[in-house]
Structure 1
Amino acid sequence: MSTTMLPGTKTAAPSPGIGQNVRAYIGRVRGGDMGALPAILGLLVLCTTFAILRPVFFSAINFANLFTQGAAISMIAMGLVFVLLLGEIDLSAGYTSGVCAAVLAVAMTQNGLPWYVSAGAAILTGIVIGLVLGALVAKLGIPSFVVTLAAFLAFQGLLLVLVHEGNNIAIRDPVIIAIENRYLPPVLGWILYAVCVLVYAGVQVVRARRRAGRGLMADPATLIAFRVGTLAVLGGLAVYALNLERSRNALLVSLKGVPIVVPIVVALLIFWTFVLRRTAFGRHIYAVGGNAEAARRAGINVDRIRVSAFVICSGMASIGGIILASQASSVDPSTGGSDVLLFAVGAAVIGGTSLFGGKGRVLDALLGGAVVAVINNGMGLMGYSASVKYIVTGLVLLLAAGVDALSRKRAAASGLR
């Protein structure tokens, strides 16, 4: 046990050394608490494999494509994490994104509304959908599988109605199109990178000081430095790669900079992570997911938590729908359909969120979304057909679910759950 004197504290705060933290982490993994480790290892294996087989995989232009290709799926998966934490499911999230994208397109093209009003209408539509779904599950007691399966079917029809039975509605608003198809100036990308690293470092230091001030064990300075340093290195490499010129003819058009969608995803990741980890609402989500009856007896309004989770899920799906509309510069009957839901659920589970409830983080959606994007992108570069991509993604999802189930059994056997 080491002792770390933190600035601003009156007494020395006892804290475990870096070696003790490593041993404690290994102990948690052996006990079944694997967290995002399988997803991170999977990403390393996949990226290494594709980089060896297809060196173009790590080219500047393909690196940028990975961010834009996985953005919508990751966004929808972030919302699904809240529902999965409760042990519920939302099978309608994909078509919810499609319906909200159609509302955006109709509002702009047919009603002539500005982009911010149209985007607000799309997000409001998602919130209303979440309220209805959540009320049916929480108040009437209908299983979420049945409610959202019915919504999955109904929203396909509603999407057809909105796009007039199969029409393609073009998106021409430059702001909406820019979300997925435009880039930040390189200088602004570096500024945002520096801000993110400094804020993360500040949060880590403040958290350690508060724990020390309360007489609790705080993370040692070496561990904090390692975390901040890792983020700084990985983030710096990513920004550097994204700021490289990707256009074959830079005189005609320049393609460099961080995609605009990236800071949007990062901002929502930080916000929802704060909600889950630093608020009473977040603690109640985990409590209800772990044991709903015990949470009810502890005074938690379980119905309100369930409704709120579905509202967040559908609200995030609406943002994912806006990104899908930006990506395609149009909305049609397939928007939000096909494999969007499957990939979004798969992203959350592959990233480490448990299907049984009570375990998961918003970051899991981003990690799982990266795995899905890497599989699709890498196998596409290797010339594999869509059928092979589906098979591989399905096997990866099955493996992730298997790891989750085995981890829970091991955790129960070791007394961690």
Structure 2
Amino acid sequence: MTTTAVKKDGPAAVTPTPAVADHVRNYIARVRGGDLGSLPAVIGLVVLCLVFAIVRPVFFSAANFANLFTQGAAVTVIAMGLIFVLLLGEIDLSAGFASGVCAAILANVVTVLGYPWYVAVAAALATGVVIGLTLGFLVAKVGIPSFVVTLAGFLAFQGVVLLLMKEGTNISIGDDVIVGIENGRIPPAVGWLLAAVAILGYAAAQLLRHRNRAARGLLTDPIAVVGARIVGVAALIGFAVYVLNQERSINTLISSNKGMPVVVPIIAVLLVFWTFVLNRTAYGRHLYAVGGNAEAARRAGINVDRIKISAFVICSGMAAIGGIIAASKDRSVDPNTGGSNVLLYAVGAAVIGGTSLFGGKGRMINAVLGGAVVAVIINGMGLLDLSSGLKYIFTGAVLMLAAGVDALSRRRSAATGTR
């Protein structure tokens, strides 16, 4: 055990800084106490990738690696929004079709009405905000349970999509900017530049956090652990960019297909932004407080109703972005956009990633990890040419396992007094 002296207005205070061995033992103790975090999702992701790679080596090809990002993008973004609602112990069953409504608005504005892409995107996002305000008001102010409100929205929004799509028509999207969100690629050089910025930014944030905590006399992670964390993230980002920059076109004489998809940095920016909001702002602390104990938060002076409404607004706003991404991927919008299994996969991604269904526990990275697991399952089982029935059964089993782990970890936390 090493110590760090911290100067204050008086005698020097000594703050313990655990050695690496102590840090590892503390982490193991937390895991045994039920604080699993994203560990199950990480283990599941590694196991699934290894299994699919062994059975179907093409799984680790550059082309399929890029497909994983584009296939899971919309679900991951919607799952990011759902985390805000789940942190409150609420649910939004309408997020899937809300994304469909926003996508339909986008398609009508840009294709049917002929407005520029930015007007269409703004209209779609505004629609998501209005949906969120409506749902949040009914839950927070009227007092209707979120399950009932969003179930009604789930049914009603299907009808809205049908009306916007003229009872079944398909609206193609030809705008290059919107189509390029999912189908466009970033030049390799720019991809490496973005990777360098991301790595340096992450390293700076980690080192600054370590310094600030030490300066305030707070317990800090060993600098070796911080360094290992930075190296690990750098290696992961570097590997991903390297693979995505490989040529994926079958015939390079006709066209080149290398570089990371445009949607990747979009998701990265959303991840960083919402992580900052949850971890570094008063709003984020209030959100966790309301999710942990709404009555205690109210007595502490937190406007619980406002927090609840804002969570539904963020959820529906992110659903709108998910709908835009889905419309970009398909280059069109139809009555099934946002329907089918979109909601189930999005909720599954949040829960599989480590977000609790009981509220008060979850991080934004959970949506990305859970979305990756869902994308790997769908992609890998598709490569194995398995039936849709087996895909649904396997995905449902994984979701049930994740929910079971969440329930058991909460029970273990309560028994050990760590929660």
Q: Hey, what does 2:123 align to over in structure 1? A: 121
Secondary structure at 1:264 match in 2: helix
The offset of 1:39, in angstroms, is: 0.4
Letter in 2 for 1:60: A
Q: Hey, what does 1:416 align to over in structure 2? A: 418
Q: Does residue 173 in structure 1 map to residue 143 in structure 2?
A: no
CA distance in 2, matches of 1:193, 1:402: 36
The offset of 1:110, in angstroms, is: 1.5
In structure 2, the gaps of 5 or more residues are 7-11
Letter in 2 for 1:45: V
The offset of 1:219, in angstroms, is: 2.0
Q: Does residue 25 in structure 1 map to residue 30 in structure 2?
A: no
The offset of 1:113, in angstroms, is: 0.8
Q: Hey, what does 2:3 align to over in structure 1? A: 3
Alignment of 1:313-324 (within 5 A): 313-324=315-326
Letter in 1 for 2:228: F
Q: CA RMSD in A?
A: 1.2
Q: Hey, what does 1:264 align to over in structure 2? A: 266
Q: Hey, what does 1:45 align to over in structure 2? A: 47
Q: Does residue 68 in structure 1 map to residue 66 in structure 2?
A: no
- Please point out which of 261, 280, 283 is paired with 1:281: 283
1:265-308 CA-to-partner distances (Å, cap 9, x unmatched) read 00000000000000010011111111101111111100000000
Q: Hey, what does 2:59 align to over in structure 1? A: 57
The offset of 1:13, in angstroms, is: 5.6
Q: Hey, what does 2:332 align to over in structure 1? A: 330
CA distance in 2, matches of 1:91, 1:28: 33
Q: Does residue 211 in structure 1 map to residue 243 in structure 2?
A: no
CA distance in 2, matches of 1:91, 1:317: 11
1:388-408 CA-to-partner distances (Å, cap 9, x unmatched) read 111100000000000000000
1:142-181 CA-to-partner distances (Å, cap 9, x unmatched) read 0000000000000000000111110000000000001111
Q: Hey, what does 2:9 align to over in structure 1? A: none
- Please point out which of 374, 394, 397 is paired with 2:399: 397
Q: Hey, what does 1:94 align to over in structure 2? A: 96
CA distance in 1, matches of 2:32, 2:153: 40
Q: Hey, what does 1:110 align to over in structure 2? A: 112
Letter in 1 for 2:235: V
Secondary structure at 1:139 match in 2: helix
CA distance in 1, matches of 2:225, 2:159: 53
Q: Hey, what does 1:375 align to over in structure 2? A: 377
Q: TM-score, normalised by structure 2?
A: 0.97
Q: Hey, what does 1:81 align to over in structure 2? A: 83
CA distance in 1, matches of 2:127, 2:98: 9
Letter in 2 for 1:156: Q
Secondary structure at 1:3 match in 2: strand
Q: Hey, what does 1:36 align to over in structure 2? A: 38
Secondary structure at 2:3 match in 1: strand
Q: Hey, what does 1:302 align to over in structure 2? A: 304
Shifted more, 89-98 versus 203-212: the winner is 203-212
Q: Does residue 356 in structure 1 map to residue 358 in structure 2?
A: yes
CA distance in 2, matches of 1:194, 1:315: 30
1:206-227 CA-to-partner distances (Å, cap 9, x unmatched) read 1111111111122221111101
Paired positions, count:
414
Per the alignment, do residues 12 and 205 of structure 1 end up closer, same or farther by CA in structure 2, a change over 3 Å counting?
Answer: farther
Letter in 1 for 2:400: L
Shifted more, 78-87 versus 205-214: the winner is 205-214
Secondary structure at 1:413 match in 2: helix
CA distance in 2, matches of 1:385, 1:4: 59
The offset of 1:14, in angstroms, is: 3.7
Letter in 1 for 2:241: V
CA distance in 1, matches of 2:18, 2:164: 59
In structure 1, the gaps of 5 or more residues are none
CA distance in 1, matches of 2:377, 2:194: 28
Letter in 1 for 2:41: A
Equivalent residues of 2:23, 2:222 under 8 A apart: no
* Segments of 4+ moved more than 3 angstroms: 3-6, 10-14
Secondary structure at 1:57 match in 2: helix
CA distance in 1, matches of 2:214, 2:352: 35
Secondary structure at 1:335 match in 2: coil
CA distance in 1, matches of 2:341, 2:226: 39
The offset of 1:3, in angstroms, is: 3.4
Percent of pairs identical after alignment? Answer: 68
Q: Hey, what does 1:255 align to over in structure 2? A: 257
The offset of 1:11, in angstroms, is: 8.5
CA distance in 1, matches of 2:15, 2:35: 27
Q: TM-score, normalised by structure 1?
A: 0.98
Q: Does residue 222 in structure 1 map to residue 224 in structure 2?
A: yes
CA distance in 2, matches of 1:137, 1:128: 14
